[in-house]
Chains A and B, each alone.
Chain A
């Protein structure tokens, strides 16, 4: 039974992890570099949502605040720091994005200090399904995460701009030939990708507490999820997030919680060794 409980917990954390993992992989698909600033941006989103929630906004409104703050910050740093470097290769841009993450982390530290803070959510009794325990708040955040994911999938599959984004990720030269403006798609990718990362930071913080290292703690799991599913593949990021979430919870039963972080490393190592293109390959959405 304890294994089933761990599986359920893994599904919950996997759902939450999937949101920023989609953002990360979508940015990679369009902008062609791994944007490690997601650590700082996730933290920023978590704190923006914290302020909005504290100011009396509902959960959905607070998530929107997290989305906007993180999206704008991500876009700003992409424009001034990362994208000018992509021309030199993915590595310089990736290194610059690590620096951006550190900058944002310390901006948050300057404003809020190091103490953990909790979203002041009403306490609710856990719900039991047989012997499996789930909190109503977990169900709520899971529902929000799933709704957001569906919205992203629908936008990519059915809207003109969503298709243009997939086309640019798939074949940038042909997309440009057909009049799809690459700068516009890049701007959109930064804004939405980082917005999702900010929402993810808040969703993952809702369950526990947030501090300046909130985003840094999920960076490895998030990156592992994207690599496992296939960098650049949105369905892959979702699949990877579920697998990493479940593996992390199960690992606690086997090797103890202090080695939980090793799951991400092991997953990345295994994928790079056995299947470098990831489980779904780079199917670009």
Chain B
């Protein structure tokens, strides 16, 4: 049984304006899955429909075998599915430590222990525990955002464009962090603009076009697929061609 099973999912910001038009997708336990596609394909909307931030107008969303479609975002989160928004994903005026406490608000338990664990996993957070979140760099802020989401010990993280706005170097580091997280047992479904980079760390991928998955498959195969490459080479993926060596190197990490 898959951890997350989506069938025929439809929905958008308004009933009259369906952005996701019948999506089928699954994530297995402990898997990294990349959701890629051109701008406006509905990738982020799909994540929000799954996370409960938008109400689906049709279709099934099953998490750990239970139907969660239409439930509130906190209710879904309590069952072990944590969503990390792309923007405004930390409490800027509050300290790093307070951000983590707020992340634990959702289930209220084990807060101290989990914060200690997160400081161990991300020493940067421990060093900056008293710093206001808005003073962190872009990459550090994304790590804090993920740490907030980890505070209720989820089985699945939904990441909405985690590397958006980061320098190539910071993006690469963050992908490394995501792989590390995944190795600790958390399944990850991520939406990414840096498509080929994302595929290089993922086990499987989906290419979403106009609200429907046009292709799915093993990440390495998708990354090598000429039509997929064409889809992204027209856009911003030019720099990624330049570091083939980098990618194949990290491709090994992604296959775990």
**Chain A residues engaging chain B, CB cutoff 8 angstroms:** 160, 163-164, 166-167, 170-171, 173-180, 283-285
Contact = CB atoms under 8 A, between A and B. Distances in A.
Contact of A164 (B53, B73, B77, B105): B105
A200 B91 CA distance: 30
A103 B102 CA distance: 39
B83 A177 contact: yes
A163 B73 CA distance: 20
B77 A179 contact: yes
B35 to A, nearest CB: 20
B53 to A, nearest CB: 7
B74 A175 contact: no
Nearest to A177: B73
A163 B102 contact: yes
Given A163-B101, A171-B88, A174-B148, 18 more contacts: A160-B101, A163-B94, A166-B93, A166-B94, A167-B98, A170-B92, A170-B94, A171-B91, A171-B92, A174-B102, A175-B102, A177-B77, A177-B83, A178-B77, A178-B103, A179-B77, A179-B105, A283-B93
A179 B78 contact: yes
Contacts of A173: 85, 88
Contacts of A177: 53, 73-74, 77, 83, 85
A167 B83 contact: no
Contacts of A180: 102, 105
A163 to B, nearest CB: 6
A170 B93 CA distance: 7
A283 B74 CA distance: 26
A160 B106 CA distance: 12
B90 interface: yes
A284 B101 CA distance: 17
Nearest to A181: B74
Nearest to A285: B93
B168 to A, nearest CB: 27
B102 A178 contact: yes
Contacts of B106: 178-179
A75 B10 CA distance: 40
A178 B85 CA distance: 12
Q: Which of B77, B94, B102 has the most chain A CB atoms closer than 10 A to its own CB?
A: B102
Q: A-B pairs with the 8 shortest C-beta distances?
A: A179-B74, A179-B106, A170-B91, A284-B93, A167-B102, A170-B93, A178-B105, A178-B106
Nearest to B99: A167
B210 interface: no
* SS of A interface (majority): helix
B79 interface: no
Nearest to A282: B93
A150 to B, nearest CB: 19
Given A166-B93, A170-B92, A176 B74 contact: yes
B28 to A, nearest CB: 25
A178 B93 contact: no
A264 B91 CA distance: 32
Contacts of B83: 177
Contacts of B88: 171, 173-174
B140 interface: no
A174 B73 contact: no
Interface string B26-59: 0000000000000000000000000001000000
A151 B103 CA distance: 25
Given A179-B74, A179-B78, A180-B105, A174 B89 contact: yes
15 contacts: A164-B102, A170-B91, A170-B93, A173-B88, A174-B102, A177-B74, A177-B77, A177-B83, A178-B77, A179-B78, A179-B106, A179-B107, A283-B93, A284-B93, A285-B93
A285 to B, nearest CB: 7
Contact of B90 (A163, A164, A174, A176): A174
B207 to A, nearest CB: 28
B126 to A, nearest CB: 19
Interface in B82-141: 83, 85, 88-94, 98, 101-103, 105-107
Contacts of B74: 176-179
A167 to B, nearest CB: 5
Nearest to B78: A179
A284 B148 CA distance: 20
Contacts of A164: 102, 105
Q: Which of B85, B105, B106, B148 has the most chain A CB atoms closer than 10 A to its own CB?
A: B105
Interface in B201-232: none
Given A163-B98, A164-B105, A174 B77 contact: no
Contacts of A171: 88, 90-92
A243 to B, nearest CB: 22
A167 B73 contact: no
A85 B149 CA distance: 33
